[in-house]
Chain A
């Protein structure tokens, strides 16, 4: 746990290159595996794959079905079909929604900003507030803050995220009338760009808080115990003995080391957070990918479902990459690890 500083710039560059290569490989692997998953799902669905791709609306159109069979090579053996499908995915061709009469890629692109805004806000909200609150609780560890934290996180951990969202709507929109209950932006009101941003931010509060709440509780609790762990280590005693100020010790020595496990956990939970976004978007009629999934479910629009699954997995990888980068920046030992 000691922060040995090995000044080896070459090693650090090498480590970053290695990490990047690892991420590219991971990225390709995940995309290929998910595409394969999607392929299997289309074939596992009851009925003719061409009908599944066409969706309910196109299933009765014989001409369309014949065209789809030719396009996807559905009369050819499975390995060739899979190869055709993977080739389409790699060239960003996610298929066509016959229900919506648009390409899946354009549908997703249109909804992507809202989902990115929601997940990124919730993720940073949970991570930043968790680290700050956890540090405060850890530095002044006492029975009182400990009990409150434990109870709150136990409760939030047991609360379904969609229900928490509804309860917040009930309190802050229906009862108090402070915040908008649903939507992305107020419709039908002419606004300047700045007003529009403020309005979106206003709409973002409830969904982002509901999505972040449980992770916020987990990270606060983790950060608290991590801070307590680090505080008892020898290098903190050394820092104290050197006569460093309390604030400097907390920020430079305790925080930096104590944050590491929280960042790791946050990376591991990125998948759950993105899954939660689907439910939250349904609750708040937030016009993102989750809402797109919900509508596609009602219409059994498979090309859309499969495309969104792929894109959301890519978002998870991006969040993983982000936490990995944060870890590398704050980990005082990273150059040593590269050398060994």
Chain B
């Protein structure tokens, strides 16, 4: 409860939370606000903003930009959250194993992590999606595969820190199984920095998704912000609004998530974050 209270008193964290809630609200209400398919032509093409019924204008095929943004919010948030959960599962498993067992296991796990950090992740994501097909589940999988290394490193560091503490040693001496020790004793104490890094990972997942769909690798059945910008790129001289508004939507959403993440960091790990 005190955590919640101190978050509510965190000014930038609260701004972020309000903006984020607005985006979530937009995503949830998109089917009611814009009941038509965002792919449908609803007016004349190349209509500037504040035209009749099209307050963010229309694109080169006469689709409503505002409807695209509202429906795109769903896709961005869904992909951001689920792909982060995927990378959390991979990263926490690898980091926890490395940090708990140490020694040779740690060595091998960290080499793998290092390797994944060397590989240009975005290009690997492109390859993965191009190979297994641009379906939303494949995009989530690809983003998860390239985003786990920082989470693994963080989890490993936390586990190594907690591994030698008395309450963990006591649990081990009582003969509790490693899995029990890891899940019931260590993980709960390591969870707050993981939550913070995870929340920031949602933001970077949204950025990767937008870049993928900008490159033409989005799910062809789902309207997304990156796709809108990619499609409008060639007509930017005539129609700025088609690329400006979806980009602002990405910027605002990612910024809001980052602010919430930093706010969480300040309230959950006050001693670490107050260093400066």
Contact = CB atoms under 8 A, between A and B. Distances in A.
B215 A271 contact: no
B215 A274 contact: no
A278 interface: yes
B147 to A, nearest CB: 11
A117 interface: no
B199 interface: no
Chain A at the B interface: mostly helix, strand, loop or mixed?
helix
Nearest to B214: A162
A166 B243 contact: yes
Contact of B237 (A46, A163, A174, A317): A174
A110 B128 CA distance: 25
Interface residues of A, number: 52
Given A30-B118, A45-B132, A305-B127, A158 B276 contact: no
A313 interface: yes
Contacts of B131: 41-42, 44-45, 302
Given A158-B203, A166-B233, A268-B117, A44 B132 contact: yes
Nearest to B212: A279
Given A154-B258, A160-B250, A163-B250, A272 B122 contact: yes
A189 B128 CA distance: 41
Given A163-B229, A166-B236, A313 B247 contact: no
Contact of A316 (B119, B236, B244): B119
A308 B115 contact: no
A306 B124 CA distance: 10
A168 to B, nearest CB: 11
Interface residues of B, number: 42
B133 A46 contact: yes
Contacts of B118: 26, 30, 271, 313, 316-317, 320
Dominant secondary structure at the B interface: helix
Nearest to B133: A46
Contacts of B119: 30, 34, 271, 313, 316
Contacts of A278: 122-123, 126, 215
B98 interface: no
Interface stretch (A61-69, A194-202, A293-301): A293-301
Contacts of B258: 154, 157-158
Interface of A: 26, 29-30, 33-34, 37, 41-42, 44-46, 154-155, 157-163, 166-167, 169-170, 174, 225, 228, 268, 271-272, 274-276, 278-279, 282-283, 293-294, 297-298, 300, 302, 305-306, 308-309, 312-313, 316-317, 320
6 tightest A-B CB contacts, nearest first:
A275-B122, A163-B247, A158-B255, A158-B254, A275-B120, A271-B120
Given A275-B123, A320-B118, 13 more contacts: A41-B127, A41-B128, A158-B252, A162-B211, A163-B210, A166-B247, A169-B236, A272-B120, A274-B123, A279-B214, A297-B130, A302-B131, A316-B118
26 contacts: A26-B118, A30-B115, A41-B127, A42-B131, A44-B131, A158-B250, A158-B258, A160-B229, A166-B236, A166-B243, A169-B236, A174-B236, A271-B119, A275-B122, A276-B122, A282-B215, A283-B233, A293-B126, A294-B215, A297-B130, A297-B217, A300-B130, A305-B130, A306-B127, A312-B120, A313-B119
